Amino acid sequence: MSTRISTPEELDRLLSECSEKLVDCTSGIRDLPLANHRENIYRIGKAIAEVSDVRSELYRAHPHLKPRLWDAPPSDSDFREWCTEAQRVADEYCAEGSPLRAIETLESFISIGPPQEYIALAQEAIHVIRAKHGV
């Protein structure tokens, strides 16, 4: 069944629903015994980014639709959550014998520009991985 989209508001609603459903998919992928769950979560993340790009374009053309949340920088709790998730993924990589991928994960987190306290936590985790795994 196809949905006919005739207004910017309808497109915005549909894109928002798509993003929410994609986010829901990541926990399902993580919880199911799929062989490449990390790779599949990465693919979902790329899809979310693509949908977000379309939403950004829509908001440039129709600024009245843009949620205020899009204007606010990430909060401390956002960075804390992202840091915790990066550490969890890094721990999984180390447990699988892939310390370099663990380091890449933490460096990727640092690249988003978190506050210094989270950079320090990620750098310390990298230091521990390098020492423990000799990389």
d(CA 123, CA 110): 8
Owner of token pair 């890449």 = 104
State the average pLDDT over residues 22-40.
76
d(CA 135, CA 131): 7
d(CA 121, CA 92): 17
Percent of the chain with pLDDT over 90: 39
Which among 19, 10, 2 is positioned nearest to 58, based on CA atoms?
10
Q: What is the average pLDDT value for the chain, to the nearest integer?
A: 86
Tell me: pLDDT of 1 over 60.
no
79-124, pLDDT tens digit by residue?
899 899 889 889 988 998 999 989 988 998 888 788 999 999 999 9
d(CA 6, CA 80): 40
Q: Cα dist. 90→3, 6, 7, 133 in Å?
A: 41, 44, 43, 13
Q: Which amino acid would we find at residue 25?
A: C
